[in-house]
Amino acid sequence: MGRRNTIQKQLVLDAVNKFMGHPSAEEVYNSIVESYPDISKATVYRNLNHLVDSGQLLRLTVPGSADKYDATVSNHCHALCKYCDKFIDLELENPVVIDFNDKALKENMVDDFVILFTGICPDCMEQKRKIKD
Amino acid sequence: MGRRNTIQKQLVLDAVNKFMGHPSAEEVYNSIVESYPDISKATVYRNLNHLVDSGQLLRLTVPGSADKYDATVSNHCHALCKYCDKFIDLELENPVVIDFNDKALKENMVDDFVILFTGICPDCMEQKRKIKD
DNA sequence: TTTTGTGCAAAAACTTTGCAACGTA
DNA sequence: TACGTTGCAAAGTTTTTGCACAAAA
């Protein structure tokens, strides 16, 4: 189970870190290939899996598209634009509070959750406004 | 865009309704094929999509497995067991409250959300207990 | 030297699509 | 009749896997 450090693994981690937003495996691959053309897509997938397993990346399961990866591991949440499918980081002023003592949650020893908001991003709102005029 | 009622569409809706839990497209197909062997998997997928579009079913995007379908359209949430991947309906005593006036939520015109809890289901808890003994 | 990781290609898992025939309104 | 729906097969998308070789520890 001991993990070795390889150039490829570092490239994958760096790629997700540098990426604006939340890249898919394909996007990670594309961004690495530019500078390191010999990397294989299988290696990208394998390293993404390792990095998720070791807690260095978060895997985001998104309705309607391939998994995305997030270098920001700390607690935050996301919103999905229902028009353009843009996936947005959200910093809530008042974080969502869950009462983990709720009966159903205790029964299933729930200790974590993910929350995905859906809305209309500012860009799409602007589009809609223009069309109305 | 007008939708017609077909035997197949009704079979798909019934199958999801009768299913214990939250079937995948594959499971819906398997349960229909027993009594209606000529149905095609494409038809199941197409009807699931129509039924989701028309609000008669909910599509549940689950990390690590195929989409599931839910005949209970009303507001509720789910938990995923981190050991057996069982997908569980949750009835919270105190529903999760979101402050939709939060700055980030207003900016993106967020009007809805889904929440997925992760925990250990009673069955897996029992398993773990047995192993310890 | 002993694993573990890599690249490649093939396969697996899941879902959609083109098309001719069919069924519903 | 008109057009939405079906079954089938093919193709599309995303991810994993088998294997021989290469590279870390």
Which DSSP string do the residues of B14-32 spell out, in sequence order?
A: HHHHHSSS--BHHHHHHHH
DSSP label at B57?
A: S
Closest by CA position to A91, among listed B9, B45, B120, B104 = B104
pLDDT of residue A14: 98
Burial of A129 (0-12, 13-18, 19+ CB in 10 A): exposed
Q: Tell me if chain B has a CB within 8 Å of the CB of A93.
A: yes
Least confident span in A108-117, A123-132, B20-29, B59-68: A123-132
Burial of A128 (0-12, 13-18, 19+ CB in 10 A): exposed
Query: In Å, what is the separation between the CA of A124 and the C1' of D7?
Result: 39
pLDDT of residue A66: 98
Q: Tell me if chain B has a CB within 8 Å of the CB of A52.
A: no
A68: chain B residues, CB-CB within 8 Å = none
| From the candidate CATH numbers 1.10.10.60, 1.10.1270.20, 1.10.10.10, 3.90.180.10, the one assigned to the domain spanning B1-73 | 1.10.10.10
- Domain A74-133 falls in which CATH fold? Dna Ligase; domain 1 (3.30.1490)
Q: Tell me if chain A has a CB within 8 Å of the CB of B105.
A: yes
- In chain A, which residue's Cα lies nearest the Cα of B81? A108
A68: the nucleotide nearest its CA (via C1') is: D14
Beta carbons of B113 and A115 less than 8 Å apart: yes
**Which residues on adjacent β-strands are paired with residue A59?**
A69
Size of interface A-B (CB pairs under 8 A): 105
Instruction: Determine the distance in angstroms separating the CA of A3 from the nearest CA of chain B, rounded to an integer.
Output: 23
pLDDT tens digits, A42-87: 999 999 999 999 999 999 999 999 999 999 978 889 999 999 999 9
Q: Tell me if chain A has a CB within 8 Å of the CB of B75.
A: no
* Average pLDDT value over all residues in chain A: 94
**Cα–Cα distance, A76 to A24 (Å, whole number):** 19
Beta carbons of A119 and B102 less than 8 Å apart: no
pLDDT beyond 60 at A2: no
Distances (CA, A) of B6 to B1, B29, B44, B89: 15, 16, 12, 30
Query: In Å, what is the separation between the CA of A93 and the C1' of D6?
Result: 51
Is A60:A77 a contact under the CB 8 Å cutoff? no
pLDDT of residue A75: 82
Which chain D positions come under 7 Å from a protein C-beta? 4-10, 13-18, 23-25
pLDDT beyond 50 at A16: yes
Give me the mean pLDDT over the A25-46 stretch. 98
A122: chain B residues, CB-CB within 8 Å = 107-108
pLDDT of residue A13: 98
Which regions of chain A carry the CATH code 1.10.10.10? 1-73
Which regions of chain B carry the CATH code 3.30.1490.190? 74-133
